[in-house]
Amino acid sequence: MSPLAGARSLPMWRALAVRDFRLLWSSEAVSVIGDQFHFVALAWLVIDVTKSGLALGTILIAIGVPRALMLLPFGVLADRRPPRTLMLVAHLARGVIVGAIAALVLSGAATLPLLAGLGALFGVFDALYLPAQQSFVPRSVEPDRLPSANSLLQATLQLSTIVGPPLAGAFIVAVGTGAAFVVDAASFFAAAAIVLLISGRGAVTAGLDAARTAPPAVMAEEDAPPAVAEPGPRPGAADRGAQPSFLAAIGEGVRYVLGDSPLAITLVLSMVINFALNGPAAVGMPWLAEIRYHAGPAGLGLLTAAWGAGALGGTLLAGNLRVARPGRILLASVAVSGVAMLAVAVAPWLGLAMAAFAVMGVMIGFVNIVAISWLQARVASHMLGRVMSLTMLVGFGISPLSLGVAGALLDVNAPLLFVGSGLLVTGVAIAAALTRYPAAFDAPAPSTITATAGIRETA
């Protein structure tokens, strides 16, 4: 077998055999490349106009706070409305918003308050998109294709962060900041056009929950005409009468997570890991490059690239590796990432720190794909939007606290920051491994053990 044929036969490509997922992946690829133009253009515009890091932070907060606040309500909406429709609305709305920013920049009318207001609107529709997309993925492919699907989506995002910013920077130098926002707006409209082609067929009916743990039924993989229309309300919705309020529905989602011990522990582990690693990595890399290694911006770029390349490698590994019982492997990977952070604390050379961050990236990239695929396969279909929004909120919500604590500790004792981070991650992984959590992680969800229906086949 030739190397090319071998690469094409890797398991990570399996999800691309499903038409609806191919379309979703294509829309994501277009959108995330456009996002890089947006991020680079926004940062350059604000810094160029205001010369203030505080001003840039204000804009980013204006985007991040509404996004975090709206994740849970929009998670409820993702359980009540077809995710494809919500993704379409979110793409179109963000395209209009970024188009307005482009018009302001090109006309010279952009001001900090206007950018903050439009940024807040952008954050709202970002929150609409995220749980809808996350809940659509397990409805578009069979459970055994979820690692492939998530690996492809995540790898595409990571590749865009590697190649996108240099392209955006060169484009801004050649054409201008306003034109970069035009590119991003066009990418949202192009992504929306691709989403319109999605049929909504796939793992979308009542049999989905059974397929979480039962051997998957056969699903049509090629471009046959769709057998079913985009799913509407979940089965049984008409029998439940009036839907509960959004607040009650959010409470139902929280109770669902708390009632499933492995699920609740997984979210707690995610919160601890995000707290322990996000801040130390984000504020620690610039300190290492400038203070410890005297390597300047080039050193920071190398450390960031090492982390990004490692994360991409871990994502590809998770998309191609088949592990029957991944609970202990997941915890071992978390523990190794903690050990790598301990190595950063004492690394005397830039190259050693790069290697440690690369190892950390591999482990976290692998864990992310395994965990999110497990979540999507375990959670009942009518709860997917709420549970995935809770999962994302764990990361978005804890990151500002992690950044604040890391920044404060960095000024007191930088090596202690890295040691504390590594010990916390390694300790929580070892503690979880000594409990019944690994076996519970590998066991089928209680709500699906007695289910008997299979996934609807498509012609």
Indicate if 197 and 257 belong to the same structural domain: no
Q: What is the mean pLDDT of residues 97-117?
A: 93
**pLDDT at 220 (0 to 100):** 36
Indicate if 372 and 431 belong to the same structural domain: yes
CA dihedral 35, 39, 44, 49 (to 10 degrees): 100
Amino acid at 357: F
Cα 390 to Cα 392: distance, rounded to the nearest angstrom = 5
Examine the pLDDT at 161 and tell me if it is beyond 90: no
Q: Give percent of the chain above pLDDT 70.
A: 84
Cα 437 to Cα 155: distance, rounded to the nearest angstrom = 28
Q: Which phi and psi angles does 435 have, rounded to 5°?
A: -105, -170
Cα 312 to Cα 362: distance, rounded to the nearest angstrom = 7
Helix/strand/coil for 301: helix
* Residues 381 and 330 sit within 8 Å (Cβ to Cβ): no
Q: What is the mean pLDDT of residues 291-306?
A: 83
Angle of CA points 285, 291, 296, to nearest 5°: 70
- The tokens describing 72, both together, are 């849970």
Q: What is the mean pLDDT of residues 311-327?
A: 86
Please state, rounded to an integer, the average pLDDT across all residues of the chain. 82
Examine the pLDDT at 222 and tell me if it is beyond 60: no
Q: What is the mean pLDDT of residues 167-183?
A: 90
Flag whether 233 is in a domain: no
**pLDDT at 195 (0 to 100):** 95
Cα 202 to Cα 454: distance, rounded to the nearest angstrom = 12
* Gyration radius of the chain over CA positions: 22
Confidence of residue 365 (pLDDT cuts 50, 70, 90): very high
Structural domain including 308 reads 253-448
Flag whether 225 is in a domain: no
Residue 356 to residues 42, 97, 307, 429: CA-CA distances in angstroms? 31, 40, 9, 18
Flag whether 100 is in a domain: yes
* Residues 74 and 124 sit within 8 Å (Cβ to Cβ): no
Q: What is the mean pLDDT of residues 205-228?
A: 38
**pLDDT at 3 (0 to 100):** 56
Question: How many structural domains comprise the chain?
Answer: 2
Examine the pLDDT at 107 and tell me if it is beyond 90: yes
Residue 427 is part of a domain; what is its CATH number? Answer: 1.20.1250.20
- The tokens describing 9, both together, are 């036969």
Angle of CA points 432, 437, 441, to nearest 5°: 130
Half-sphere exposure of 295 (CA within 13 A, CB side): 20
Examine the pLDDT at 27 and tell me if it is beyond 70: yes
Examine the pLDDT at 225 and tell me if it is beyond 80: no
Indicate if 310 and 412 belong to the same structural domain: yes
Examine the pLDDT at 251 and tell me if it is beyond 70: yes
Q: What is the mean pLDDT of residues 317-329?
A: 85
**pLDDT at 213 (0 to 100):** 40
Confidence of residue 102 (pLDDT cuts 50, 70, 90): very high
Q: Of 204, 222, 242, which closes a domain?
A: 204
**pLDDT at 435 (0 to 100):** 93
Amino acid at 234: R
Indicate if 149 and 280 belong to the same structural domain: no
Examine the pLDDT at 418 and tell me if it is beyond 70: yes
Q: Of 142, 171, 204, which closes a domain?
A: 204
Indicate if 266 and 192 belong to the same structural domain: no
Flag whether 429 is in a domain: yes
User: For residue 59, how many other CB atoms are within 10 A of its CB?
Assistant: 20
Cα 207 to Cα 171: distance, rounded to the nearest angstrom = 48
- The tokens describing 87, both together, are 């993704």
Flag whether 455 is in a domain: no
Indicate if 162 and 261 belong to the same structural domain: no
Examine the pLDDT at 25 and tell me if it is beyond 70: yes
Indicate if 199 and 258 belong to the same structural domain: no
Q: What is the mean pLDDT of residues 5-26?
A: 84
Indicate if 194 and 294 belong to the same structural domain: no
Indicate if 20 and 154 belong to the same structural domain: yes
Flag whether 269 is in a domain: yes
Q: Which of 165-169, 222-226, 364-368 has the highest mean pLDDT?
A: 364-368
**pLDDT at 98 (0 to 100):** 96
Instruction: Give the model confidence (pLDDT) of 226-244 as tens digits.
Output: 333 344 444 444 444 567 8
Cα 180 to Cα 36: distance, rounded to the nearest angstrom = 9
Examine the pLDDT at 217 and tell me if it is beyond 90: no
Taking every pair of Cα atoms in the chain, the longest distance, rounded to a whole number of angstroms, is 66
Half-sphere exposure of 39 (CA within 13 A, CB side): 12
Q: What is the mean pLDDT of residues 428-434?
A: 95
Measured between its terminal Cα atoms, the distance across the chain in Å is 32
**Better-scored residue on pLDDT, 90 or 167:** 90
Indicate if 193 and 326 belong to the same structural domain: no
Examine the pLDDT at 208 and tell me if it is beyond 80: no
Exposure string of 427-448, with b = 16+ CB inside 10 Å and e = fewer, is ebbeebbeeebbeebbeebebb
Helix/strand/coil for 142: coil
Flag whether 2 is in a domain: no
Indicate if 158 and 284 belong to the same structural domain: no
Q: Of 181, 204, 227, which closes a domain?
A: 204
Cα 31 to Cα 386: distance, rounded to the nearest angstrom = 24
* Residues 316 and 12 sit within 8 Å (Cβ to Cβ): yes
Examine the pLDDT at 436 and tell me if it is beyond 90: yes
Flag whether 443 is in a domain: yes
* Least confidently predicted of 78-82, 136-140, 210-214: 210-214
**pLDDT at 234 (0 to 100):** 43
Confidence of residue 6 (pLDDT cuts 50, 70, 90): low
**pLDDT at 446 (0 to 100):** 58
**pLDDT at 409 (0 to 100):** 86
Examine the pLDDT at 346 and tell me if it is beyond 50: yes
Amino acid at 332: A
Cα 38 to Cα 30: distance, rounded to the nearest angstrom = 13
**pLDDT at 235 (0 to 100):** 41
Indicate if 188 and 258 belong to the same structural domain: no
Amino acid at 75: G
* Residues 147 and 319 sit within 8 Å (Cβ to Cβ): yes
